[in-house]
Copies of this chain bind each other. A is one copy, B any other.
């Protein structure tokens, strides 16, 4: 069982937290809108709790579920309140037409968040390759993740598995650049090759 705090109350939190509750994880919901957090907690049930924005989260794992443009500022505002936490960055960084990314070349959203995170916090990139509306569907899904800390990655991998999803480690946090490139690819696929946003990336393993 994982103890998870979600910062942000949008569709991705709803999708991941619903699976987390079903998977027996302990869930804390945190947002600037306390009433909205209470409403989502009530909807999720299973003892989902509501935390205070900016205070030390209860969860060992903190899912940073805010738009990328807000992610670095939120981590900066939290500061030492995130010390020692495993921070999952789920953000997509693509630009207005979803063909490029807004992050500077040679880095990634996850690496920018890691630069801002306090000492002892470990950032793991995950979930950005899965659309939220697909996460709530009954279908097998792969969740690709990247990070530099072995224990943090083991914790995130166990969390992903608790959601009934398959965790797939792609390497160090420098790989987040390419995971974030999956965002524009999925958008391009939906518009051009697939003709629907109801798509998911999967990995066929053999041997």
Q: Which A residues lie at the B interface, using CB under 8 A?
A: 99-100, 105-106, 137, 139, 144, 146, 167-172, 174-175, 177-179, 181-182, 184-185, 188-189, 191-194, 196, 198-207
Contact = CB atoms under 8 A, between A and B. Distances in A.
- Integer count of this chain's copies in the complex: 2
A72 B105 CA distance: 23
Contact of A194 (B106, B168, B179, B181): B168
Contacts of A192: 169-171
A10 B122 CA distance: 42
25 contacts: A139-B206, A144-B185, A144-B193, A146-B188, A168-B189, A170-B185, A170-B188, A170-B193, A171-B191, A175-B184, A175-B188, A178-B178, A181-B182, A182-B185, A189-B203, A194-B203, A196-B207, A198-B205, A199-B203, A199-B205, A199-B206, A200-B203, A201-B203, A202-B203, A202-B204
Contacts of A191: 171
A30 to B, nearest CB: 30
Nearest to A171: B188
